[in-house]
Amino acid sequence: MTVTRFAQWLLTRTSAAGTRDALVGDLMEEIGHGRSAWWVCQQLIGFYGLTFVAQARQSVRITPLLVAVVLALVLAGGASVASLEQVVETWTSVYYIAGTLSLFAHVMSRATASRTLLISEGPGLEARD
């Protein structure tokens, strides 16, 4: 019962965080229907995680240093759970797949840009003022 009271107290103070009122209302309603403490904790973690990510996307500028720090934390977390060999193998696979997708995306964006340039400057097209 203490968890649900704490959850209700947290949820009543979320309006300042810029969260969606409908989501808060749905959570309050489910708590009122007698959901378990475990379910309430899961929902609060997800709710505040979603709010944190939404605010971070609005205020944080993604820099190479930030990306490197996040990746280092992910690798350190992986190494604490699995063996170093498994972490390196998984990381290499992800790196190759992401690199290949990035290469194809870059090639496609350049191909699309060059086609757009050819179409807009093609013969018989007059410049619009």
Token pair listed for 60:
């944080």
In the chain, how many domains are there? 2
The per-residue pLDDT of the chain, averaged, comes to: 77
Question: How sure is the predictor about 126, in pLDDT bands with cuts at 50, 70 and 90?
Answer: low
126 domain-assigned: no
127 domain-assigned: no
Helix ranges restricted to H, the chain: 2-12, 21-32, 37-59, 64-81, 84-120
Question: How sure is the predictor about 20, in pLDDT bands with cuts at 50, 70 and 90?
Answer: low
pLDDT value at 40 more than 70:
yes
Let me know whether 69 and 114 are in one domain. Answer: yes
85 domain-assigned: yes
79 domain-assigned: yes
Summarize the confidence of residues 101-129 as an average pLDDT: 66
Distance CA 91, CA 126 (A): 52
pLDDT at residue 83 in the model: 84
Distance CA 117, CA 114 (A): 5
pTM confidence score? 0.41
Let me know whether 69 and 54 are in one domain. Answer: no
Let me know whether 70 and 34 are in one domain. Answer: no
Q: Which structural domain range is residue 77 located in?
A: 64-120
Let me know whether 29 and 74 are in one domain. Answer: no
